[in-house]
Amino acid sequence: MVNAVDVIRTKRDGLALSDEQIDWIVAAYTRGDVADEQMAALAMAILLNGMEYREISRWTHAMIASGRRERFPAFSLGHRPSVDKHSTGGVGDKITLPLVPLVASCGAAVPQLSGRGLGHTGGTLDKLESIPGWRASLSGEQLVAQLRDIGAAICAANDELAPADKKLYALRDVTGTVEAIPLIASSIMSKKIAEGTDALVLDVKVGAGAFMKDLVKARELAETMVALGGDYGLRTVALLTDMDVPLGQTVGNALEVDEAVQVLAGGGPPDVVDLTVALAREMLLVAGIDGIDPADRLRDGSAMDVWRRMVRAQGGDPDAALPTARETHVISAPADGVVTRLDAYAVGMAAWHLGAGRARKEDPVQAAAGVQVHAKPGDVVCRGTALFTLHTDTPDRFDRAITALQEAATIAPNGAEVRLPPLVIDRIGA
């Protein structure tokens, strides 16, 4: 008979778990028959000793089996192919906001089930909740109807999808086991497979502001997730993308929504536009939609039209003014020169200190808090010009944010060589 202590000992000693052990421990933990401290010990053993691919695949299967698996029949979506995107999280990563309506404007149905921010990485739902009236919760029937009518929905995941993941994710966050690749891969893919979409594009971030700092580990994660998708007939592609530097020029909830709307209006920072279009092209490819360039749909206003309809459908007012912070503080360049480095993690932590993020899932966030980035690597600055503008409703937060940004930017003499990594580092999948 399987028991928790034997399962922990097996992985502690570097051995592979059997299918029976995996099925039992995931189901028992979800039911509450295995204590948090026991699952925490197992998660740490997995972090330290890893898992074979067979174990990861079976663990993912057990996570899916802990809840309900959705289906999106083509007829229920107006014969639109369904495709989703998932990012592993980064600083200033507002890509989902323009990407979902853009891909929908090209003829796909995009059921984007998103989450909230934790630590230095922002959450899509937190960003959208800065729009007056917008709501994250949709019933299954509302989701299908919105996808059929508009093609786009960004909402909170149903609690019945992979409930084991929700419970285990919260535990990993407080036990220092978030970085375990087998648990990251199974967490992401169990939810996406259970969601029932036809195809999936993964944006796996790598660099200072990402969970995966190392390219080798990021590639391992991407390859594992692509393989898991294949096990379930889910057409899956992953892009490895740079997260050494924040995406765009804003980090924070309302600030990022404003920047996303600029992209939908045909403007916005070039890196945000480029990554949005690159991911859109991959999503259309795996969805089987040919002959449409998503860049055209940004230029002609089609994506903006879908955005406005999507926001209204979820109770929001796309014309309402976004919240603005009561207090701001400018950090200026200390010297003339060229910016050669901008640490995404430091900027993310500053935004967190200002109130844009949370330390625990139940913590509130400030809609208007965050950081505006005025200069990025390759930009020439003059002494006294603005490098960052800090936004918050609580000015006593400024000191911690300023401390976080003290070493965030490196300014070299004019003429110094600046090597910028490619935004898209590699592509994995069919």
Please tell me whether residues 372 and 401 are part of one structural domain. yes
In a domain, 67, yes or no: no
Please tell me whether residues 102 and 225 are part of one structural domain. yes
Using N-to-C axis directions, what is the helix angle for 181-195 and 53-65, rounded to 10°?
40
What CATH number did the domain enclosing 292 receive? 3.40.1030.10
* pLDDT (tens digit per residue) in 213-242: 999 999 999 999 999 999 999 999 999 999
In a domain, 420, yes or no: no
Model pLDDT, residue 180:
92
Average pLDDT over residues 86-110: 96
Please tell me whether residues 130 and 184 are part of one structural domain. yes
In a domain, 83, yes or no: yes
In a domain, 38, yes or no: yes
Confidence check: pLDDT of 117 > 80:
no
C-alpha distances in Å from residue 86, one per residue of 112, 175, 199, 261, 376: 8, 24, 11, 20, 26
- For tokens 């192919």, name the residue: 81
Please tell me whether residues 120 and 159 are part of one structural domain. yes
Please tell me whether residues 365 and 269 are part of one structural domain. no
In a domain, 419, yes or no: no
Residues 142 and 76: beta-carbon distance below 8 Å: no
* pLDDT (tens digit per residue) in 290-304: 999 999 999 999 999
In a domain, 404, yes or no: yes
Residues 191 and 225: beta-carbon distance below 8 Å: no
Nearest to 101 by CA among 263, 320, 316, 268: 263
Burial class (CB in 10 A: 0-12, 13-18, 19+), 426: middle
What CATH number did the domain enclosing 388 receive? 3.90.1170.30
Please tell me whether residues 126 and 256 are part of one structural domain. yes
Catalytic annotation, residues: 86, 165, 172, 187, 191
Please tell me whether residues 116 and 182 are part of one structural domain. yes
Please tell me whether residues 216 and 339 are part of one structural domain. no
* pLDDT (tens digit per residue) in 121-133: 778 999 999 999 9
How distant is the alpha carbon of residue 63 from its chain centre?
A: 20
Confidence check: pLDDT of 116 > 80:
no
* pLDDT (tens digit per residue) in 22-74: 999 999 999 999 999 999 999 999 999 999 999 999 999 999 999 988 877 76
Q: 91-100, 210-219, 248-257 — which is least confidently predicted? A: 210-219
- For tokens 């991911």, name the residue: 279
Please tell me whether residues 299 and 405 are part of one structural domain. no
Query: Can you give the residue range of the structural domain that contains 336?
Result: 327-412
Domain edge (last residue) among 305, 320, 335: 320
Q: Can you tell me the distance from the alpha carbon of 118 to that of 89, in angstroms, rounded to the nearest whole number?
A: 10
Q: Tokens standing for 428?
A: 């994995």
Residue 270 C-beta-side C-alpha neighbours within 13 Å: 3
Q: Which residues contact 314 (CB under 8 A, 6 or more apart)?
A: 134, 135, 136, 138, 146, 153, 154, 155
- Number of domains making up the chain: 3
Please tell me whether residues 136 and 211 are part of one structural domain. yes
Helix (H, G, I), strand (E, B), or coil: what is residue 362? coil
Average pLDDT over residues 393-418: 95
Instruction: Tell me the pLDDT band of 75, cut-offs 50, 70 and 90.
Output: low
Please tell me whether residues 203 and 144 are part of one structural domain. yes
Please tell me whether residues 366 and 240 are part of one structural domain. no
Strands 235-242 and 199-206: parallel
In a domain, 189, yes or no: yes
What CATH number did the domain enclosing 38 receive? 1.20.970.10
In a domain, 138, yes or no: yes
